[in-house]
Chain A
Amino acid sequence: MQWARCRRLVADRRRVAANHRTLKPETMNDSILIARRAILEPAGLTDSDLERLLGELRGPAIDAADLYFQTSRLESWVLEDGIIKDGGFNLEQGVGIRAVSGEKTGFAYSDELHYPALEQAARAARSIAGRGRDGRTRIAVDVQPRCLYDPSNPVESLANEDKIGLLQRVDREARRADPRVREVVASLVAAQDIMLVVADDGTVAADVRPLVRLNVSVIAEQGGRREQGSSGGGARADLGYFLVADLALELAREAVRQALVNLEADEAPAGTMTVVLGPGWPGVLLHEAIGHGLEGDFNRKGTSAFAGRIGQRVAAPGVTVVDDGTLPGRRGSLNIDDEGTASQNTVLIEDGILRGYMQDKLNARLTGAVSTGNGRRESYAHLPMPRMTNTYMLAGDKDPAEIIASVDRGLYAVNFGGGQVDITSGKFVFSASEAYLIEGGRIGRPVKGATLIGNGPEVLTRVSLIGNDLALDRGVGTCGKEGQSVPVGVGQPTLRVDGLTVGGTST
């Protein structure tokens, strides 16, 4: 049934094509205008060139085809030893060309944007389906009114003197905060990514994505013992983001605080125990334990521990988890995904019941679903696939203090490094970088970093208390999948999990 509907869509698509709609400046939004000026015009590419390229890709055996144009610029500054030591500027551009036939994908890309290079790439991409008669596609305008972030270039949002001044203030703040601070490394990155996607289903969409990031890392030393603390923040915003309420200085103090906590930390416990996870970044739990396992590709292939479990209970009552690409200014947010689909707020788990997967166009088409706006790619040189945006659990009604007080003996973990998951067995890890023992309902002494391990389909069934303090992370997450990195966000309220394995050394 679903397949028949798909076929009908193909027919509709051809009718759209017959309307001969072409790109017209007066009907385009800012992003498309900016993308045309930044990518197509300098390369001398016209609408008819794009139509000819899509025509090259089309054929009776081709189900979908797209062209993904991208240009990105990134500037970074590094402070170390109290001086601005290094800076860099990177400019990348290119086009990725894809032709899909059933479950087969042909892909080629080029960092040269002149027409002959594109034509060669298009022929390589479509060779997947053998030769067919040439189709002809007209592209239509798809207006994207949403604006989750300002399309201006964050690289130019502060004068260079002010970027440097910002890092120097971070350095001074960290050293002022405590005399035990020995080393401070701070970095500031601003990037602008402009993409334009043109697909044979009539999609023409563009997005202009800013991304800024500030990282602070310190080493503190006391009595011959050295410990590290780090902190960071970021957003789809301009660099002014770090000046509001002196966020940059707060990040510096936070890095120092963590290093000082670690100077006092004892051995972490080993074994399975009750764990209370703090709000915000500890939501990396959700990203690893369930997020990847709910990506459409793994479920279409039946390789995920969650495959075929829609409608089943996978979490305790009260647990609702969403993937939301529509939050203004968030690191994981997107106006549109890299296939031109508007991002969404997708409910993954509702009151403990598995509701949905995250889809891109390919996996949606093959499973009779619709794209949820999760088709993402690292760059033009990579194929899109289902990826998370901002993944978080909605708030419950418990006071966080009450949650701590409910635990007689356990671990309170508030900061984490990264995590990893084996989506087939469901086993996942995430590594605490700041944690405390809970003894008699009170937060006790700090313990060293330790890896926590659990089973994805099971862990959320052990969530017994959900805090009222939902927070999202500070904008530091980068997710890796099949060698591709994309920026993401996570979040959660304070959670009590009755039974996670804590990988300390103290037995």
Chain B
Amino acid sequence: MAHHASDDPPRRLAPLRETVQMILDEAERQGATAAEAGASSRAGLEVGVRLGEVETVEHTRDNGLGVTVYFGHRKGSASTSDMSPQALREAVAAACAIARYTQEDPCAALADAGRMCREVSDLDLYHPWPITPEQAIELAIACEDAARHCDPRITNSEGASLSSYWGLQVYGNSHGFIGGYPTTRHGLSCSVIGEDGHGMQRDHWWSSARAPQDLDEAAAIGRRAAERTLARLGARPITTRQAPVLFQAEVASGLMRHLIGAIQGASLYRRASFLVDRLGERIFPSFVRIHEEPHRPRGLSSAPFDGDGVATAAKDLVRDGVLQSYVLDSYAARKLGMETTGNAGGVRNLMIDMGSRDRNALLAEMGSGLLVTELMGQGVNTVTGDYSRGAAGFWVENGTIQFPVEEITIAGNLETMFAGLVAVGNDCDYSGSTRTGSWLIDRMTIAGQ
């Protein structure tokens, strides 16, 4: 197959824009008073290797389009993977057929015309990687080799995989807005298994970036995966107790996403959040600032406009520990009698102001407690804030790691955990669009033996 990057994806933007315009025109022809449509194309290569041999080579190519039509304040939606003109007409017809049965919802409408993104700025998100399957296999093997040869206790592997994708997305609506842009995303990950007298453990590491040159070095990813696996060998439960907990950076990012789950529109207008009616109130200690940076160059979730076509903008969600903004699309904003925050489709590049101390300094501050490096299961109730999850990590005494821990749970309530945040580290060293260092929480319940 011709190499995927040689298709010159940006040249396909114009036909995708035409497709979106055709859908909007067709919706108008079929009687819709307003419509919005999105079309996307994505293609890529993913290779998987295991124990030094190629295991899978996958060539992917996906198309998709979606349309929402409005008849006054009634709406209907349809989507398809078929981009033929006939399929477009049928999709619009299907959406219109559904809109005949949905009911009048005064909040259902396009976002206000005045809020449309005026200039689709270039956020440096497109960096194709002209890599052949053979080169991809070679890199993935180098990554896995580094892990496998790290230590004789690394006895098996789940393999390493390299992926490289480009994508195009175009959104338009009957306000006259049509915008689109190309993106790329590349990733390299590795997962290996270690074994000792106590049994097997596995862990992984990864790197993900918009530009191939921003990926971590293959051997470094492999070594990190192996070190993480080795550190877990001999893990055991501890007894039930209360103790401070240090969430390692990549795990702490999950706590930030729980915050977003509680301040996003649908949770609020359904009153299904423990942070209902808390705007303007202190929910964290005063040193905490959490903000969204949707225009970050090469950011993994950067975007010039949101899913409603509304311009995205940087903003503080929490400043001086006080909740400054909800995370709303135009529908939820109308339900709440507020203005959209340009967050249709979620938050884009969520960051916390990091502290000055590294993980070791935070371990020293914790003294005795639990360092959590992995969480399992759901166990997070956004309505009440109740939090109870399976965990693995390390028991720490006098600021020093003592032994690996597994088969325990940690439990608390997000409201008190947020209020009990003692410090945020400066040790943000993973790939991801939510950026934080480690979080030290003053006290949680650990259930074990």
Contacts and interface: CB of A to CB of B under 8 A. Distances in A.
Contacts of B242: 507
Interface in A56-100: 75, 77, 80-81, 83-94
A425 B229 CA distance: 11
A503 B409 contact: yes
Interface in B208-225: none
A109 interface: yes
Given A88-B98, A127-B57, A449-B388, A301 B412 contact: no
Given A83-B104, A453-B408, A270 B447 contact: yes
Interface string A200-236: 0000000000000000000101000011100000000
A228 B241 contact: no
A161 B270 CA distance: 26
A225 to B, nearest CB: 8
A185 interface: yes
Contacts of B200: 303, 305, 424-425
Interface string A372-385: 00000000010100
Contacts, number: 257
A268 interface: yes
Contacts of A453: 376, 390, 407-409, 447
Interface stretch (A243-251, A311-319, A340-348, A426-434): A426-434
B60 A381 contact: yes
Interface stretch (A33-41, A349-357, A391-399, A414-422): A414-422
Interface string A92-127: 111000000001111111110000000011011101
Interface residues of B, number: 79
Contacts of A406: none
Interface stretch (B12-20, B166-174, B377-385, B423-431): B377-385
Nearest to A501: B447
A305 B156 CA distance: 13
Nearest to A425: B201
B386 A383 contact: no
Question: Taking chain A's interface residues, is the majority helix, strand, or loop, or is none over half, making it mixed?
Answer: strand
A484 interface: no
Interface in A450-483: 450-455
A163 B98 CA distance: 11
B290 interface: no
A227 B200 CA distance: 40
A93 B99 CA distance: 24
Contacts of B58: 107-108, 383
A29 interface: no
Nearest 7 A/B pairs, CB to CB? A503-B409, A429-B390, A429-B377, A124-B1, A87-B98, A270-B447, A83-B103
Interface of A: 75, 77, 80-81, 83-94, 103-111, 120-121, 123-125, 127-128, 160-161, 163-164, 182-183, 185, 219, 221, 226-228, 268, 270-272, 301-303, 305, 381, 383, 417-420, 422, 424-431, 448-455, 501-507
7 contacts: A104-B55, A125-B59, A160-B98, A449-B379, A454-B407, A501-B448, A504-B388
Given A84-B101, A427-B376, A505-B388, 18 more contacts: A77-B101, A83-B102, A86-B76, A89-B76, A89-B91, A105-B56, A160-B98, A226-B271, A227-B384, A383-B56, A418-B377, A424-B200, A425-B202, A425-B406, A427-B390, A429-B377, A451-B388, A503-B389
